[in-house]
Structures are given as C-alpha cells and as structure tokens.
Structure 1
Amino acid sequence: MSTASVTASGSTSSRQNPVAAGESRDYEARHLLVLEGLEAVRKRPAMYIGSTDTRGLMHCLWEIIDNAVDEALGGFGDQIDISLAADGSIAVHDRGRGIPVDIEPRTKLSGVEVVFTKLHAGGKFGAGSYNATGGLHGVGSSVVNALSARLDVEVDRNGSTWGMSFRRGVPGVFDGDGPDAPFTPQSGLQKLRRAKKGVTGTRVRYWPDRQIFLSTAELSLPDLEARLRQTSFLVPGLGLTATDARGGEPVVQDFRHDGGITEFCEFLAADPPVSDVLRLQGTDRFTETVPMLDDDGHMTPTDVERELEVDIAVRWGTGYDTTVRSFVNIIATPKGGTHVAGYERALTRAFTKVLEGTRLLKSGEEVVKDDVLEGMTAVVTVRLAEPQFEGQTKEVLGTPAVSRIVTKVTEAELTAFLTSTRAQTKAQARTVLEKVVSASRARVAARAHKEAQRRKNALESSSLPPKLKDCRSNDVERCELFIVEGDSALGTALAARNSEYQALLPIRGKILNVQKASMGDMLKNAECASIIQVVGAGSGRSFDLDAARYGKIIFMADADSDGAHIRCLLATLFFRYMRPLVAAGRVFSAVPPLHRFELTNPKRGMEKFTYTYTDAEYQRKAAELTKKGVGFKEPQRYKGLGEMDAHQLAETTMDPRRRLLRRITVDDAEDAEAAFEMLMGNDVGPRKEFIVQGAYALDAAAIDA
C-alpha cells in the first residue's frame, strides 16, 4: 500500500508526522553525546541535588556535613565546625580519620582525588569501613566538587597534612585565594606540612559555582542551625559549631545534646505531657539479595545478612496535633518510608490488642491509626548498612524488610508499656489509653456532625442553624460568610449585605477558648458548633477543604478591645480545627472604620464623607483637611458596628469594591502553634511574661478607657 496521497494541487504529502524545518532525519551513533566524569553533574545538577536554588545550595552543604557525621557515627571524632565566610566560601572541619591519602589500585589516584572526582566512589559500598551511614551512593563529595567554582581539601593523616584543590571538578593548583585566582590543571595530592601527633581529620572549603546556582540562592542560617541541632540529638555527644561571618561580626552557635532522641522528642513536643518519653528499642536481622562485585569485576547477586537497629522515642501530650520525625542512620526522611509505615501499623495493633482486654471501649467502638496519633510526638530512627532510598535526596526509605522488623519491635515494646504492672507506668499507660479512646469517640462524633451539616439541596429540609442568614448563590468561590458580633450589628448588616452572595452568622459575645478545651467540649459549645456546621467541612482531622460552603470567611467585630478578643478567639477556633481554610488564605478579618468625617465644603474630586481606621490616621486626616482649608463637622467616632447606618457599613466594611480586609495567614505553622499556645493555652507563666514585657512598651495615653 502506498504511503503517499495526492493533494488537490497534485503534489504528494506524507501520512507520517512532518519534519520541522531545519530538523534532520539522520540519527546515528555520532549524534550521541557522552558525558564523562563530572560533566553529567554540571549538565543536569538538579538530578543530583534537587534544584539550583537555595534548596540545592543547602543540599551541597548537607552532603559535606553528612560525610563528617558519618565519621562521628563510627566513633571517630566528636566535633565538627562549619564556617560561612564573607567571601562566599563554606568550610567544614571534622576530627575523623581523614580521607585516605594512599593510592587506589584501580585508578592509580590518591584516595582524596578518587573521592572528589569519581562518581559512585567512596567507603560506603562495602562492609569494611562503615556500618550505618548517611552517605550511600558515593556521589556527595564529587557532586559538590563539580558544582563548585573552587574546592580546597586538606587531610590530617599519617602524621602529615595533605592538600589538593579543584576548579569545577578539575584538579589543579591555584595561585592565590578565591575562585578567581589563576589556575593550573594538575593531578596529584600534595604533602603540605607535618601534622601534630595523633591529629587526624578533614577540612573542606568550597565556593559554590554561580554559573550553576541561581543568583537568588543563598545559604539559610536558620536551616543550618536546625539541621545541626537535629544532628546533635541524633548523635549524642557530638559537638557541632556553626560560625556565620558573612555579615561582619561572626555569629557562633554551638550544639551538643547528650540525651539523644529522648531529648529530641521533648524538644519537639509543644503540649503538656500525658506520658513520659518512652524508648522503644530492639535489634533484628534480615537477609537481603544485593549485587556484589567479585574478584573478576562481575556483579553477582548475593544474599547478605543485615542487622537493623530500631530506636524510637515517643510521648503523648494533651494536644491534638501529631509530630513524627523519621531518620535512617542520620538522614531525615520527611516523606517517611517503610520504617514509618511499620511503626504506625504497630501502634494500631498494640492499642487495639490491649484495649480489647479492658472495659474502656464500648461495644461497637474501634480504634484507628488517627486516634493513636492524636497528641503524639515521636522520633523514629533505624540504623542499617546500605539502606535503599528513593533517589539521591533520600526522602523515602524503601528497604522492604524494615517495615516488618519495626512493626515487631514497636508492638512488643509498646504492649509491654501499656500492660505494665508498675504503679507509675501503669497510671501513665491508663491515661494514654483513655486519651486514645476519647479521640476515637471525638472522631465518631465529628464524623456524625459533619454528615449532619452537609448543605441540603432544594428538595430537602435544611438542618442549618436558624440564626444563619444564608445567601442565595451556590457558587462557593463567590460566597462569603460574615461572622458577626451581636444581634445589633446583625440588624445593620442584614440591610447592608448583598444577599445574593453574602451570608451572615451572628454569635453571642465571646465564644469558647478552644485552645484550653477538648474537642468534645468544643462540639458541645453552641457557638462553636454553629460555626463548624455552617462552614460545612467538618473539623479537626476530618476537615475537608473542598466541602467548605463559602469561599471567604470574614470575622466582623467591633474595633475595640472586646472585638479584638472575639477575633482572637475565632482565629484560635479556625487555626485549631479548620486550619486548611487558614492555610488556603480563605479566612479574613474585616476592618471597620473608627471615625467618619463629613466635609462641609469638599473640593473637586473629594468625597463628602471620608473614613479613618486608627487614631493616628484620624490625626493626620484632620491636619490634612485643615491645611487644605476644607471644613468638616465634628467627626463621628464609632464605638461599635451597630452605630453605623446600613449604607455606611456596606460602604466601609462589606462592599468588595471599597472595603478593607485583613487576610489571616499561617506562614510558619510551628511558630503560629507556639503563639496560640502561649496566648490562649493553659500555661499561664509564658503568657504573664509576655504581657509584662509588652507593658513596658505600651503608651498609657493610647489606652481607650
């Protein structure tokens, strides 16, 4: 069959896809580009470090730090120093054994040059040098070298100090300091000087290559400090020092924690404890089939017996949020993996088994994973040789056998705690069990509440609160819910709103402080229950953002101290039980004016009425009008929303074309959680200290009393 057809003009056209202008059908071996050595890293850096922005820049630093920590994990060295210099260089100094300086037989290069120039070369592939490490793929140091404009390494080993420099991965000699100094390519490690007796270690100093990294990429000192603090918890007894000299006067931070992950768990927990920190520990072995390099250079599948150490710190608190940090050796796995899956499976099994033997659970009740996780803070760590990760960034552990062993160890240790007969332990175990049962019942109540509050269609009777003045539109994106303080403001707002898309829900004064109350108490509170019912998306863990009935939630309270308190209580309710709404930027606070000026002789372009929102703005506006010779009547001061006429409220607070709204956001959930706990929680001490400190900065004349 012919593959050509005749067009109307008599010419032929191919039935296959046409070739774009300038393209060739030739595709031969000569067209293939072979990237050798570190060229592939520079060509596709994101494949190795994730990105070329700040995240990638920080990942390079983690690679060098992790190599130093691996030495400390092996028992070599107890101090690591990290320095950020004003010239853009980064230095990491450890007191480990030092990178080998002898000649590697296959490449005929020194160990230092092999480590920094050869991908997949290092001491972590076999079982001779390391057992449990953070580095696995042998690409960390060489990748950092390839992405550095200059890298200097010095090694203290065998009584001497050895040194070598690289420019974008190429070994050589610099004539001067900095990455722009004259450079001569030259292979080979140099003996620089004698080292002090018994002194060993490695110093790496590098300048990130700005040809690779974005101009906006900068090292984050808070991220570095958080990482070093985390590492100091994971490796007890290891000291880490960060020195930041980029801003002139050096800033020095030291980290050392001898309490290990028990101390880490206490550090992460924000709520008062229900139990002490439990350590769930155990060791087991498993067999893994891996390809091994034989003496002839062939890869042969071989069964290797591995040892897995499980060490978990866990405690329950009075709160509702869950914090789980997981690690493999010293590497954080923010997306979990088989170790976290095994741990969570064991939690449910242990609690279900123990509760079946008690009278705490009633007939028909059950415990699920979320009930056990409520208020739990845990640090899950496992150590094993050559773990399997998904990708170079090591965010997910994939070794299958880990899940089974972690489940076995956790279930056994946790069951022993929950069934302990020791008086103190028994009391704590009982409290934890009661908390889990309470969470189970609250979950069931919340689910029933959510089902009951679904918006009914036109053929069904509505179960929404009768005090809700709903809007007519079903377009969620357009609909707005105003939570209004008091019935007096409701009357004005009813006349001021656009009933097509603006709904009103009045509340009586100050609602329950949910930071101090349990979820059950919150659901029993009429005002809180009405708000959750009207929003229509549930609460807590069962909250479903897509089910929310309104695109905007707007707090509308008086512009006084009571109104500010009401807004704070409402913000606490939404942050604690409907946080996805806040995170999505759909919660707002209306900003009603404090004063209204009525101009007696407005000039062209001026409105007859103008509003100000603060006392300072009032003073400026009065001075401005007086200076311009514009007369005005005695300004009206609003003490509450109920004092406004409907058209004034619509014009200043409800009309989307003219109103002022403040969006309530959560830029840092941990900081926000700490702030709400301090201001609204049960612990009075920090709140009193905050108020006392703020009192000194308060202008007494500014108090509206």
Structure 2
Amino acid sequence: MAKKNAAYTNESIVSLKGADRVRKRPGVIFGSDGVDGCAHSIFEILSNSIDEAREGYGDRILITKFKDHSVEVEDFGRGMPVDYNKAENRYNWELLFCEMYAGGKYTAGAENYEYSLGLNGLGLCATQYSSEWMTADVYRDGFHYHLDFQKGENVGGLQKEPSTRRKTGSRIRWKPDREVFTDIDVPSSAYLDVIKRQAIVNAGVTFVFTDESGPERTVTEFCYQKGIEDYVEEVANLESLTPVQFCQSTAEGRDREDRPDYKVKMSAAFCFSNKTQLLEYYHNSSWLEHGGSPDKAVKTAFVAQIDAYLRSKGLYKKNESKIKFEDVQDCLIFVSSSFSTQTSYENQTKKAINNRFIQQAMTDFLKHNLEVYFLEKPDEAQKIAQQVLVNKQSREHADKVRQGAKKALTEKIDIANRVQKFVDCRSKDLSRRELYIVEGDSAMGAVKTSRDSEYQAIMPVRGKILNCLKADYDRIFKSDIITDLIKVLGCGVELRGKSKKDLSSFDVNNLRWNKIVICTDADVDGYQIRTLILTMLYRLVPTLIEDGYVYIAESPLYEIESKGHTYFAYTESEKTEFLERIGDAKYTIQRSKGLGENDPEMMWLTTMNPASRRLIKVTPTDAKRTAEVFDLLLGDNLAGRKEHIAQHGCEYLDELDVS
C-alpha cells in the first residue's frame, strides 16, 4: 500500500540529460532493453553505412562480430564530417555522437540522403550512449580522425593526423553495455538475417560478415546484383508458375491537404507459385516486418485486378463469391522496395509505415502494372487465375470444415448432451483428473469396476478407429468415435490448412484432464488400436503429446503363479529373469488375459493404481521423426513399409500371436 505522506513537490519533476536519456530508457529508442533492442542498436550503425552506399559512395560494407560481443562496421563512403562546424559553432563529432536529433539529413532542399534509412538523427548517438565503449576512425579530406568514448562520455577529444590512405570511409567499433541491455549476445543468425535483407534491397552493394565469436572464424558474403528481382528468383527456385516480373515507378504527393508534397520511389518483383509463398516489404532499406501501407496496397491491388480478370473472362460460377487476398497470397511470391523523402514510421524500430500517400501510390502502381501484365501475357494470366480459383475452393472447403468442427467439438457435455458410454469422475480438480481411453465395451466394464471413481474417468473406443493420417478432415469429423473423444478432451483441435493457419480453435487451458491414458490389450490388435489413437492425437491435438499429457498403460504379457502368489511380467526379459530367480520352485505361467477378462483386483493392481501401475509418457522429442514413423507404418508409403518389414520383421517373430 502506498505511503500517504510521500513527498510530491515541484522538485519531484526531473529530466534525463545526456547519456541517461538512452541508458536509463533504452526501450524507448530501441524497442526493447533485451537482445532485440541490442540488435536494433547494431542496425542503427549499419544503416548509416547503407545510406552512404545507396547514395553512390562505396559499394562494400564490412561487419565483424567479435568474441567479446563487440561489433565493428566499416564502409568506404565519404567519411562522416567530424571536424569543426562554423555554422553550429561546435565540432561535428559532438553533434553526431553526443546530440540527439542531429545529423546531415535535416537540411531543407539538400540532395544528401534524399531517400534515407535513418532520418531522425538518433541512431549513432543512441548507440554510442548505450555502449560500454566505442571507437571511431574516419578517413576524409586527407586526414585520419579518431575518437574514443566510455559509457556515453568522450575520452580525449578529437585526434587528427594526416593520412596517406586513398580510400575514404568510416569505421566504428563498440561494445553494447550490459548495464543498459539485459542481454548483448546477439546471435550470429540475427546478423546474417539483417545483412542478407540489406543486400536484397541495395542492389550491387556487397556485404561481408566476419564472425570471430565462434571456435572458428567464418566469413559470409551477400550481394544481389539485381536486388529484389534476383531474390524472388532465388525464392522461387525455378519452380514458379510464372516468370519473375519486375516493375518500378515514382510518384509525388502528400498525406494530407495541409501537408507538403514528398517523393516516393517504388519497385516490386513478383511471380506466382503453387509451391512457395512469400510477402516481404522494405522501405528506405528497412524490412517492414509488420507491413503497413505497402501491405494494404498489395492486398487491394492484387485482389482488384485478379477479380477483374476473372469477371472479364467469365471464370466465376453463377452466384460465386469474390476471391479474397488469402487465395492470392497462397500462390504469390512478392517483394517490394520503396523509398520516400518523408516517412511516417510507427516507431523508431521502423517495423511498419502508415503514410496514406505511399499506400495510394503503391496501389495505383501495382494495379497498372498488373493490368498491363495480364494483357501482354494472356497465357500466364490464365495460369494465375486458375491457381487462385483452386486456392479459393480450398479455402472455402477449409472454412466449412472449420465451422463443422467447431459445431461438432465445442458442444458442452451435460445431462442433455452426453457422449455415449463416457463415464466421468467426481473430482473437479484438474491436477488429479485422469481419462482412460479403453478398447471396447468389455474392457470398459473391467476398468469401470476397478477404477477410483473419484478422479479416474473412462472413454471406450469401439473397434479400430479411423486412420487419421490418411483421412481428410471431412471424413475424420464424420466419425462419432473421434468427435466424441475430442468433446471429452474439451480443448478443441489443431487443424492446419495449406496456408499454415489454424482452421479451428485449440486452447490447452480448456483441457479437462491431467493425464490421458491409452489402455489397450497387449496383443497385435491392441497395439494397432493404440497406434491409431496415438495417430489421431498426433494429428488433431499434437500439443497434448508435446506437453506430456498423453500416456500408455503398459499391460503385463504374462501372469506367473508360484507358492500361492501371482506375479506379472511385462516383457520377455522380465519373464526370463523371474523364472531364473525362483529356480526349481513350482510355477504356472500363462499369457495375460485381455483387459475385459481381468478381475477388478488385478486391473486395479496392474493398470489403475498409481502406486503399482506402469505408465509410459508419450514424449516425441523429434516431431518430424514421429511423423515419419507414423507415415511409414500407417500412410501411403507402401514400398517403404515393405522395406521396413523386410529389415526389421525378424526382430518380432517371437511376439507373433499365431498357432
């Protein structure tokens, strides 16, 4: 509870000054005080070198990551001006490294950096302020300039000496400060991702990343001579429906009537594919992870032009609904790169832009080029239209499945709507509740009489359920056994469509059980039913397996009686070990009965009692491998299954139940 007499006076209001403006609030500038914010601070320095290269000064940028987490960025541009500035009556290095909102990108009417990645004059200063130390070496005007900083403060002023080096440029090395960022270990994969993206949208500029942080020094080079056009070719990988189209244009306009005009430069590369889909937007070289204006333009333009084509060619059926962007996106590889002299970013991290004029300019630009493309390439237009219609039919089918699945699976289990033969337990404590999935009505009876009805519930499956690996969703949800079981689980299903989006809701928090126990006979039929149930769970609710909710009740293979006692052997080796242990004592041994033939006391002892039962937790540590095994055993790969049986069948000859 707050103190009632806490002082809150005029002197309570303070302002952060100097380096504290960044060091105490890094998230405001970099979007985070964690590793993502640290990565963004690195990008701020790289951005300045990119701006130089794009203006035509230098075509090579070197980035180095060192073992101590320090970073170096070197370019071969004009070299930043750091000497005395008569107009400002200060040294430029003070403005660039120690002054927020200062730089060479504010001068009205100046040609420098007309289309710039960094406009706010924050990046270099903010990164310097957030560093443990920083050094800068600048080569220009026949001089070598050197600067040192420690925790946001300059050490030793500007050092200047004549230089015979012919190349100009800037080299900055710094170490992000752990006092500012909670984590400065930016993974090499993050460097590679950012550098590759910059190579994509800065045609002809070579980026060299040297990684000295690992056990061995590695060097990776990126260069796309034709920029986004080469990149789309790379993504399509010679498997596209249509060749790559490249278009570019410029426009001039304003976001509001009372605002000044600004310039926009736009380029786009795209093709259509039934195997790969990609949407990427860049603005002033910055990857727009959240899109904004370009994304809205693409959705509007592509839907409008493809819809117009379909109508003009009479390809819609009577009363058929209009296509949606999802139908286009599922076969579209699209990358755009735009630049503007004014940009409205959502925030300093530059993950989206919201300029109204850019959105309208790009919409008009794309609609015009698509219209021309469809006229000039009628065969390609026909291919595109047919694929979009196929995608539309798939989406509409998926929508029907989703609606049907939701209706079938989200009905509450109550007195008026009970799942047939499901037997609930009394406890409402989710940490205790267990669901036993048992094989058939006879096993159901045995388990019901031997269970602890306080926390153990029973759901029988009647016979061999549908192979969910091979069946489509329509057929799966027509199976009463499957829909009843999903209702009992209570958490919904995880269905995946072509676009990898969920087709129906799944919420593990709605799961009504702490354990889901599959309980089948220890014979061939029982193993097959168990595998089919696991396959169903793997396809429809894989999270339950991944999170460790699913178990298998291990049933004994043999009952051994000796000296008035009954013992159970769950494996052949256990049977052999027990017989060796009792030596010459008399015993009887028989294969264990099916679950439905066991008396309640035995069922409780071997299958239900937490103190004596054996449960195997189903934990697929490698989901891909699990899917491969399921496919091999139950899928359409007949040749692979035959080969597997030929190689491994002999291992199970002793377990065959034949007479």
Query: Shorter-normalised TM-score: what interval?
Result: 0.7 to 0.9
* Residue in structure 2 matched with residue 154 of structure 1 by the alignment: 137
- 1:349 corresponds, among 304, 313, 331, to 304
Cα separation, partners in 2 of 1:132 and 1:32, compared to 1, 3 Å: same
What is residue 543 of structure 1 aligned with on the other side?
A: 504
Call closer, same or farther: CA 1:484–1:202 in 2, change over 3 Å. farther
- The residue aligned with 1:12 is none
Task: Kindly indicate whether the alpha-carbon contact (under 8 Å) linking 2:232 and 2:269 is maintained by their aligned counterparts in 1.
Answer: no
2: CA distance between counterparts of 1:641 and 1:224? 58
**1:384 is the counterpart of 2:340:** yes
Aligned equivalent of 2:161, options 191, 197, 210: 191
Match of 1:242 in 2: 209
Residues 32/155 of structure 1: CA separation in 2 closer, same or farther (3 Å cut): same
Q: Any stretches of 5+ residues in structure 1 without a counterpart?
A: 1-16, 173-185, 292-300, 602-607, 667-671
Distance, in Å, in 1 between the alignment partners of 2:586 and 2:263 is 85
Alpha-carbon distance between aligned partners in 2 of 1:371 and 1:36, rounded to the nearest angstrom: 53
Deviation digits for residues 335-377 of structure 1 (CA, Å, limit 9, x no counterpart): 3322223322334434443444434444254433444444655
Cross-structure match for 2:117: 134
Structure 2 residue matching 1:392: 3-state secondary structure: coil
Work out which of the residue numbers 117, 121, 124 in structure 1 matches 2:98.
Answer: 117
Matches within 5 A, 1:38-53: 38-53=19-34
2:291 to 333, 336, 354: 336
Structure 1 position 529, deviation (Å):
7.3
Q: 1:152 to 1:406 in 2, by over 3 A?
A: same
Residue 185 of structure 2 aligns with an amino acid whose one-letter code is E
Spell out the pairing of 1:348-497 with structure 2 (5 A cutoff): 348-357=303-312, 358-363=314-319, 365-374=321-330, 376-414=332-370, 422-455=378-411, 458=414, 469=422, 471=424
Partner Cα distance (1:212, 1:332) in 2: 25
CA distance in 2: counterparts of 1:286 and 1:640, whole angstroms: 80
1:143 shift after superposition: 1.2
> Do the aligned partners of 2:269 and 2:335 also contact (CA within 8 Å) in 1?
yes
Number of residue-to-residue matches in the alignment: 619
Distance 1:316 1:469 in 2: 48
Contact in 2 for aligned 1:557/1:563 (Cα 8 Å): no
SS in 1 for 2:179: coil
Contact 2:517-2:553 at 8 Å conserved across structures: no
Does the C-alpha gap of structure 1 residues 132 and 87 become closer, same or farther in structure 2, counting only changes over 3 Å? same
Contact 1:593 1:613 in 2 (8 A): no
Deviation, 1:444, is 3.2
CA contact (8 A) 1:150 1:167 kept: yes
Letter in structure 2 aligned against 1:303: P
1:537-686 mapped onto 2 (5 Å cutoff): 537=492, 539-540=495-496, 541-546=502-507, 550-551=511-512, 554=516, 556=518, 569-570=535-536, 573-574=539-540, 588-593=549-554, 659-662=615-618
| Residue matched to 2:499 | none
Judging changes above 3 Å, is the alpha-carbon distance between structure 1 residues 472 and 564 closer, same or farther for their aligned structure 2 residues? closer
Secondary structure of the equivalent of 1:303? coil
Q: Structure 2: how far apart are the matches of 1:612 and 1:276? A: 60
Alpha-carbon distance in structure 1 between the residues aligned to 2:232 and 2:631:
21
- Contact (CA 8 Å) 1:314, 1:379: kept in 2 or not? no
Aligned to 1:144: 127
Query: In structure 2, the residue corresponding to 1:88 is in which secondary structure?
Result: coil
2:47 aligns with 66
- C-alpha contact (below 8 Å) 2:262/2:341 kept by paired residues: no
Query: Residue 194 and residue 444 in structure 1: after superposition, are their counterparts in 2 closer, same or farther (change >3 A)?
Result: same
Matched with 1:275 is 241
CA deviation after TM superposition for structure 1 residue 510, in Å = 6.9
Distance 1:519 1:551 in 2: 24
Alignment check: 8 A CA contact 1:512 1:528 kept: no
The 3 A distance-change label for structure 1 pair 640 and 472 is: closer
Q: Secondary structure at the match of 2:144?
A: strand
- Cα deviation for residue 166 of structure 1 reads 1.0
Taking structure 1 as reference, are residues 96 and 449 closer, same or farther at Cα in structure 2, changes over 3 Å only?
same
Which of 77, 85, 100 pairs up with 2:58?
77
- The one-letter code of the counterpart of 1:115 is L
**What is the CA-CA distance between 1:142 and the residue it aligns to?**
1.0
SS in 1 for 2:411: coil
Cα deviations by residue, 1:436-461 (Å, 9 ceiling, x for unpaired): 23322332343244334441565756
Q: Distance in 2 between matches of 1:265 and 1:530?
A: 47
Match of 2:219 among 252, 273, 279: 252
Compute the displacement of 1:551 (Å): 4.2
Question: For residues 700 and 542 of structure 1, do their structure 2 counterparts lie closer, same or farther at Cα, with a shift above 3 Å needed?
Answer: closer
Task: Give 2:266's aligned residue.
Answer: 309
Post-superposition Cα deviations, 1:542-563, rounded to whole Å, max 9, x if no partner, equal: 3123599644695848899978
The residue type paired with residue 443 of structure 1 is: D
TM (norm. structure 1) is 0.70
Could you state the TM-score of these two structures normalised by the residue count of structure 2? 0.74
Partners in 1 of 2:441 and 2:310 — Cα distance? 48
Distance 1:117 1:450, change over 3 A: same
Is the 1:595–1:611 contact (alpha carbons within 8 Å) kept by the matching residues of 2?
Answer: yes
Q: Which deviates further from its counterpart, 129-138 or 527-536?
A: 527-536
CA distance 1:371–1:167, change in 2 (3 Å): same
CA distance in 2, matches of 1:454, 1:145: 55
Q: 1:51 to 1:651 in 2, by over 3 A?
A: farther
